[in-house]
């Protein structure tokens, strides 16, 4: 066993030691972060202000946007500050908080994607029972369960990870505190315990993935039986954005778990981390806005209200 010392802070390697590349990293992450903030805030505002969007599907979508805002806000601002200030340190408590919050938002995000697949299945395959099954109470219970599951899983993995003694080094080969990178710093028997917890999460994730796939097989089977082409297109329009978001989530997460593992810093590790931590929160509102006519109509109404409010304010001030 190597000598183990009490770790009070960690060092994040980041993307580069070159000052010009650090500034470039700051600018790119700032643009991505602002775009994610604006996109997700617009979706949340549109859902909450337009009564046409007060339905279970959009209620879950608003929760998804809140989770996306949380997940990207946990990582990106800290990474931007490190690049701008040319620092790499993150406190032990800060690392714990980052792991807990990011895992909470990510796991709850996955739960909501599964719930949204179930919602689409009920809406298309059992339309006569939709209002009975997806009533207000059921939606609140499912949303609360998704958030609770995120808290439980996050507490499980955070507790297991930071109960390990960190030895040999406090250098994390990543631009944020990532559990696989933290596990490399520990030489303990409890290392296997955390690996078992991660394997259990992967197993549950695959189970949810299978549930989503089975749901969509039945959805598409039911849609193809609809005689009206216009009704088929309307049904597809409500499913394609969600299916695209699910595909984005699983593809970026899959890259992380399927990439070769290395002990030395690798550009592939950084790229994989960016793909699953930054890209989904940035792209999800774009996908829903581009492929959903009701969201587009709500955003146009919101834009019109903002213009009218600005004009009225200008008239009042003049």
Residue 9's SS3 state is strand
Average pLDDT over residues 74-81: 92
Q: Give the pLDDT confidence of 160-195 residue by residue, as tens digits.
A: 888 877 766 788 888 899 887 887 777 665 556 656
pLDDT value, residue 117: 92
d(CA 282, CA 33) in angstroms, rounded, equals 8
92-125 and 56-85 are packed helices; what angle lies between their axes, rounded to 10 degrees? 160
Element (H, E) at 91: strand 89-91
CA atoms within 13 A on the CB side of 314: 6
CA distance 64 to 97: 21
Least confident of 19-23, 169-173, 276-280: 169-173
Per-residue pLDDT at 32 = 94
Give the confidence band of 104 by pLDDT, cuts at 50, 70, 90. very high
| Alpha-carbon dihedral 300, 302, 304, 306, rounded to 10 degrees | -150
pLDDT of residue 195: 65
As a whole number of angstroms, the distance between CA 54 and CA 240 comes to 20
Name the DSSP letter for residue 166: B
Query: What's the length of the chain?
Result: 318
Q: Which CATH class is domain 9-317?
A: mainly alpha
pLDDT at residue number 265:
58
Q: Which of 174-183, 197-206, 261-270 is the least confident region?
A: 261-270
Token code pair at residue 119: 């919602």
Q: Which pLDDT band, with edges at 50, 70 and 90, does 63 fall under?
A: very high
- How many whole angstroms separate alpha carbon 240 and alpha carbon 242? 6
Residue 143: pLDDT band with limits 50, 70, 90: very high
Tell me the pLDDT of the chain averaged across its residues. Answer: 83
Domain ranges of the chain: 9-317
Rounded Cα distance between 198 and 180, Å, is 9
Whose structure tokens read 């490190």?
82
């Amino acid at each position: 066993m190597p000598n183990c010392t009490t770790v009070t802070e960690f060092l994040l390697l980041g993307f580069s030691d070159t000052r010009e590349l650090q500034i470039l990293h700051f600018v790119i992450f700032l643009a991505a972060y602002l775009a994610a903030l604006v996109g997700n805030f617009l979706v949340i505002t549109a859902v909450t202000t337009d009564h046409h969007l007060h339905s279970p599907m959009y209620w879950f979508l608003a929760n998804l946007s809140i989770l996306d805002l949380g997940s990207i806000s946990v990582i990106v601002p800290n990474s931007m500050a490190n690049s701008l200030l040319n620092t790499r340190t993150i406190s032990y408590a800060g690392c714990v908080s980052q792991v807990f919050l990011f895992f909470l938002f990510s796991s709850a995000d996955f739960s909501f994607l599964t719930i949204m697949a179930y919602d689409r299945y009920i809406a298309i395959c059992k339309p006569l029972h939709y209002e009975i099954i997806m009533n207000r109470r059921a939606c609140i219970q499912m949303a609360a369960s998704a958030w609770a599951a995120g808290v439980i899983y996050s507490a499980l993995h955070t507790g297991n990870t930071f109960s390990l003694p960190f030895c040999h080094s406090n250098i994390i080969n990543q631009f944020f505190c990532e559990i696989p990178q933290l596990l490399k710093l520990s030489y303990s028997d409890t290392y296997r315990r955390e690996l078992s917890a991660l394997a259990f999460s992967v197993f549950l994730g695959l189970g949810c993935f299978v549930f989503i796939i089975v749901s969509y097989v039945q959805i598409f089977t039911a849609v193809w039986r609809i005689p009206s082409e216009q009704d088929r297109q309307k049904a597809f329009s409500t499913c394609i954005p969600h299916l695209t978001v699910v595909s984005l989530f699983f593809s970026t997460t899959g890259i992380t778990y399927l990439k070769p593992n290395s002990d030395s810093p690798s550009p592939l590790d950084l790229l994989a981390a960016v793909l699953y931590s930054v890209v989904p929160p940035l792209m999800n509102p774009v996908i829903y806005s581009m492929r959903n006519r009701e969201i587009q109509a709500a955003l146009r109404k919101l834009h019109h209200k903002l213009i009218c409010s600005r004009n009225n304010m200008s008239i009042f001030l003049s």
